[in-house]
Chains A and B, each alone.
Chain A
Amino acid sequence: MDNVNYNRKINFGWLFKMAVRDSRRNRARLLLFISSIVFGIAALVAIYSFKYNIQNDINAQAATLIGADLSINGNKEPDKKLQTLLDSIGSERSEERSFASMIYFTRTKGTRLVNIKALKGAFPYYGSLETTPLQAGADFKTGKYALVDKTLMLQFNARVNDSIKIGNATFVIAGILNKAPGQTGLSSGIAPIVYIPFKYLADTKLIGTGSRINYAYYYKFKPGFDVEKLAKKIDPALDKADYGSDTVENRKENTGRSFGDLSRFLSLVGFIALLLGCVGVASAINIYIREKIASIAIMRCMGVKASEAFLIYLIQITGIGLIGSVAGAILGTSIQHLLPYVLKDFLQITISVQISWMAIWQGIGLGIIISVLFALLPLINIRNISPLNTLRMSFEETATKRDPFRWLVYLLVVLFVVGFSYLQLNDWIGAVVFTIGILVAFLILTAIAWLLIRFTRVLIMSSWSYIWRQGFANLYRPNNQTIILTVSIGLSTAFICTLFLVQQLLISQVSLSSSGNQSNMILFDIQNSQEKALAELTRKQGLPVLSQVPIITMRLDRVNGKTAADAKKDSTLHISPRAFAWEYRVTYRDSLTNSEQISSGKFIGKAEPGKDIPVSAEERFAKRINVKVGDKLIFNVQGVMMNAYVSSIRKVNWNKVQTNFQVVFPAGVLEDAPQFHVLLTHVPSQPVSAKYQQAVVQSFPNVSIIDLGLVLTVLDELLDKIGYVIKFMSGFSIITGIIVLISSVRISKYQRIKESVLLRTMGASRGQIFSITALEYLFLGTLSALTGIVIAIASSWLLAKYTFDMPYNVNLWPVAAIFFAITFLTVIIGLLNSRGILNKPPLEVLRSNA
C-alpha cells in the first residue's frame, strides 16, 4: 500500500468499469430505484405531452371562433389606400359583405329579416361551414345557391332545393347552415344568417346608395407568422379608415378568462409535474447513495481516492438517470397514447395524440439533471467517508453540515427550480414566488419531521408495550427514514391536494348555459299590453318563463346635488361624467333575485308615496358615481324628475345569462312609466325554437327575439372542452402523483430489512414485526399527509387569490378523503415492503439482500 500513487491521473475507463461493476451487485434493488425515476419522469413526460397536445387542440378550436388568422372589418367601402393595404397582406384572403335584408321564401310565401353574407374565397380557414348536406358548405359558391340558417328553415318550413328571393335575385337553397365559424359574435344574434356567393351579390341590386353594408376581409397566414405583430402595425391605418381588426388571440381574450385560466392551470400542472419528478427521483437517489456508504468505505480501504469514489458514483447515477429517464419518457409517451384510447368511451372530448418530442427531450434532460443534482447532496458526503466507516457502520451522519459544497448544491437546486419554473411560467417573479413556496413547504415538512424525531424520543415511555415502543423508536433510530418519507409523502400530498382544490375552484366557475334550465332565448320590446299574453303563449308551448322583467329607460340627472357639469369640472368628486350621459335600463321589483346579494344597507321593496325613493345600486355602479348608502340621486324618467336615495348596494353575479341591473327601483313608482318587458326562456332544441319563434312573430310582430342557442352552443362546446381538459389533466396528474408517492414509499423497502430480520432472529413473531411496521408507517403517513394537506389548503388559497383571482370556495370533505386514502396507502405499501421479510426465513432474506 505504500507505493500507491495518490497523484495518479483519473482513469475514466476504470471509473466507468467500477460504476458498472458496483451496479451489478444487486440488480433487483437497482431496478427498484430506477423504477422510481421512471415513474417520476413518466409522469412528467405524460403530463407535458398531454399539455402540449391539449394546448394545440384548444388553440385550434379557438381559431374557429373567428375562422381565420385575422379579420378586418368596417362599414364602408375601403378607400384606395386601405384597399392597397388589404391586398398586400396574408397568404390567403377571403372577402365578405354582410347586410340586413328581407328574404322571401317562394314556396311557403314567408318573409323574414335576415343577415345576408356574400362570401368570396376559401373562408373559413379553421373549422367549416357545417351544413346538411355536408358538401353544400363548399359547393354553394359554384352557382346561384344559398345556405340558410337551420332555425330559419324550420320556421318557414323550407327544404333544400327550395328557392328564396333576395332583393331582385333568386337563389336555390343548397344546404341548411348548422354552424359557422366566427358566428359567436353578436352580429348573428338578431337575424338568422344566409350565405350567398359573392359573385351574385350585384344581381340582388341591394347594394347602392343608402345601403348599409359591412365589409369583412379574412386572412390566413403561413404557420409561424406573427399575426399579433401585424395587427398592431396596421391598427393605426385601419383606425383612420374606421376599420377594425380581430385576431384569434384577441378573440380568446374577449371570450373571457377561461383561456387564461386554462393556460395558468396547465403551467401549474407542468410545475407540479416537475416537482413530482423531483420527488420521485430525489427520494430514490438519496436512499440509494446512503446505502452505498459501506461499499464506498470498503473501496476507500482498497485505495480508491475520495474523488474517484465521487466520480464512480456520479457516473453511475448519471447512467441510472439516463436509463430511468429514457424508460420514463417511453412509458410516459405510451401512457399518453394508450390512455385516450382506453378511456375513449368516457372522455367527452377528443384529445389528439401526437408524439411530443419537446416533452420527451424535456423529460430526459430533466431526469438526468434532477438525478445528478439530487445525487450531489449525498455524493459530496462520499468525499468524507473514511475507510474507518467499514468498521463503524454508517450510523452517524458522516457529513458535517458546514461543508461549503453542500450549500453550493442547495443553491444549484434552487437555481434549477427557479430556472425551470421560469420556463413554465414565463415570469421571473412568479418563478421566484413558486420556488419560495416550494422551499417553505419543504422546510415545514422537514421541521415537522425533525420535531417528530425529537418528540418521539422524549415521548416514548417504558410503560408502553413493546410493539408501540419499537414502532415509535423506528422514527428516530439511526437509519430512520422519517425526514425523507415525511418530505416526499408530504410534498406529494400537497401537490395532489393543491391540484384537486384548484381544479374544484376552476370547475365551479364553469356553469354551462345550455345545461339545465339556463336561459338561451331572449324576447324584448314586449309592450305592457302584450306581457301577459306572451307569457301565456310561452307556457302553452311548454317552455318555461324564466324571468319576465319590466325595463324603463332613464337617465341620471344629479348625484348628491351634483350635475354632469360639476362632475366634469371637479374630478375630486370621483363621479364619472359618463355616468350622466348613459341611458340606464332600470327595473322595479319588491325583492332581490337569487343572483343578487346586498353588501351594504337594506333592500326596500316598496316606495312610500311622497317620499324619496329607496333604490338599490349595483356595487360597481355605486363606485363609478362614488355613492354610499343614504346618498341622494335624481333620475330623469323620460321627462319626469324622480328623487331617490341609495338604500342598498348590491353584489350581482353576472355568471348567468339573465337580466341584471345597475339600478333597481322599488315597486310603487314606475308602474305607469313608459316601459317594455323582457322575457327569458329556455328552448331545448332548434325545432322547438323555430316553432316558438313562429308563434311569437305571428301574434306579436313587434317583439324581437334573440336566440342565443347558436352563440351559446359554440361557447358551451369550448367551455365544455376546457372543463374536461382541466378535470382530465388534474385527474391524470393526481394519479401520477399517487404513483410517484407509492414508488417513493416503496424505496424504503430495504431500510428496515436488517432490523426486521434481526428482530425475527431474536424471536419476534411475524405479528409483532407486522404491527411495528404498521405503526411506523401509520404515524409517518398521518403526520405527513396532514401537513401536506395544510400546505395544500394554504397554497390553493394563495393561488386562488393571486394567480386565478377568484373567490376561495372549496368543499373540504373530499380533502378528508384524500387524507385517509394517503395514510392508508402509506401503511399498505409499508406493509407490502416488509412482506418479503415476514414470509421468508430470516437467513434467506439476509443472504439475498445484504
Chain B
Amino acid sequence: MKHLFRITSVLVLTLFLTACGGDKKPAQSDSTSTGTAAAGKPKKVILFFGDSLTAGYGLDDATQAFPGVVQTKIDSAKLPYIIINGGLSGETSAGGRSRIDWLLKQQPFDIFVLELGANDGLRGLPVADTEKNLQAIIDKVKAKYPQAKLVMLGMQVPTNMGAAYSSDFKNIFPELATKNKMTLVPFLLQGVGGVRKLNQADGIHPTEEGAKILGANVWEKLKEIL
C-alpha cells in the first residue's frame, strides 16, 4: 500500500515536472556559456533569458537549443559575441520576474534576449498578468544596464486554446516591443509550431532540426543589431 502513496507523491512531483516543462528528458538549463570561448580580446555578451525552448528541453545537449544555433552562426560570421544560455524549463513570466535579479547580479551583458510567456499561455494565465511581468523584467534590465540592446521573441499558443485568448496572447509581444523599443522576432516557432516532424513527441518542444529553424528565425533579426 505504501507504493500507492509513493505513486501519488511521485505523481505529484511528476505534475510539477510536467507543469514545469518536463520530466521525460533532461533539460539543459545551465546558464553557462554555450559558445566556444575564443582566446584573446574580450567578447560582448548576449544573454538569452527564457524557458524550456531556450534551455533546450529534451535535446541531448544545450548547444543544440536555438541559442546554440545562433552562436554557431555568430562564430561563422566571425562576430565577437558570446551567448549565455539563461533558459530554465517551466519558467513562467512571474518566475522570470524573480529570477532576473539573480542573473543581473551574476553576469553583465550587452544584449538581452527575452523569451518568456509560453508557459503562461499553456496554463491559460491571464494575458494582462503576463504582460505586466514581462514589462517588469524589461524595466529591471533597463535599470541595471541602460545601454543594453533588447530583443523580444514573440510567442503564440496552440489553436485549441480558443480564438479570443490566442489573439490577446499573440498581441502582447509586438506591443511590448514597440513600447520598449525592442527588436522583435514576431514568432519564435515560425515554421516549427504544429509541424509534427520538427517537434518532439510531446508536440511542443522542437527537435534538433526544429531548433535550427528557431535559430534561423532569431538570427534573421538579431544580425541587424550586432
Binding site for B on A (CB under 8 A): 75-76, 99-104, 111-113, 116, 166-168, 186, 189-191, 205-213, 242, 254-258, 261, 506, 509-511, 513, 522, 524-525, 527-529, 553, 555, 578, 581-583, 585, 636, 638-640, 654-660, 672-676, 678, 701-702, 704, 706, 708, 711-712, 715, 719, 722, 806
Contact = CB atoms under 8 A, between A and B. Distances in A.
B15 A111 contact: no
A655 B6 contact: yes
Contact of A715 (B2, B4, B93): B4
7 contacts: A210-B193, A211-B159, A211-B194, A212-B204, A213-B160, A525-B19, A657-B9
Nearest to B87: A638
B5 A75 contact: no
A527 to B, nearest CB: 5
Contacts of A524: 16, 19
Contacts of B161: 100-102, 206
B200 to A, nearest CB: 10
Nearest to B100: A674
Given A76-B203, A101-B161, A168-B163, A639 B103 contact: yes
B88 A527 contact: no
Interface string B185-196: 000000001101
Interface in B124-155: 124-126, 129, 133
Contacts of B5: 256, 511, 513, 654-657
A100 B88 contact: no
Contacts of B156: 210
Interface residues of B, number: 68
Nearest to A208: B159
Interface in B85-103: 86, 88-89, 92-95, 97-99, 101-103
Interface of B: 1-20, 25-27, 29-32, 84, 86, 88-89, 92-95, 97-99, 101-103, 105-107, 120, 122-126, 129, 133, 156, 158-165, 193-194, 196, 201-204
A76 B84 CA distance: 35
B202 to A, nearest CB: 7
Contacts of A101: 160-162
Tell which of A113, A672, A678 has the most Cβ of chain B within 10 Å: A113
Contact of A206 (B20, B159, B193): B159
Contacts of A257: 1-4
B32 A636 contact: yes
B201 A242 contact: yes
B2 A210 contact: no
Contacts of B1: 256-258, 261, 506, 509-510, 719, 722
B30 A672 contact: no
Closest 7 interchain pairs by CB?
A113-B124, A256-B4, A581-B26, A210-B194, A639-B31, A674-B99, A702-B94
A200 B95 CA distance: 38
A230 B62 CA distance: 41
A186 B14 contact: yes
A152 B66 CA distance: 39
A184 B130 CA distance: 31
Contacts of A578: 26
B124 to A, nearest CB: 3
B160 A100 contact: yes
Contacts of B99: 638, 674
A111 B127 CA distance: 12
A636 B85 CA distance: 13
A656 B12 CA distance: 11
Given A102-B161, A104-B162, 18 more contacts: A100-B158, A206-B161, A206-B162, A211-B159, A212-B204, A213-B160, A256-B6, A256-B7, A258-B4, A525-B92, A525-B94, A553-B29, A638-B29, A638-B30, A638-B88, A639-B84, A654-B9, A659-B12
Contacts of A701: 125-126, 129
A106 to B, nearest CB: 13
Contacts of B93: 702
Tell which of B125, B159, B165 has the most Cβ of chain A within 10 Å: B159
A712 B99 CA distance: 34
Contacts of A112: 124
B203 A212 contact: yes
A496 B157 CA distance: 63
Contacts of A553: 29, 88-89
Contacts of A656: 5, 9
Nearest to B129: A701
Nearest to B30: A636
A767 B86 CA distance: 94
Given A553-B29, A655-B5, A167 B97 contact: no
Nearest to B25: A581
Contacts of B17: 583, 585
Contacts of B102: 638, 672-674
Contact of A189 (B15, B105, B196): B15
Contacts of A190: 15, 19, 123
B6 to A, nearest CB: 4
Given A522-B12, A674-B95, A167 B7 contact: no
Contact of B19 (A210, A213, A704, A719): A704
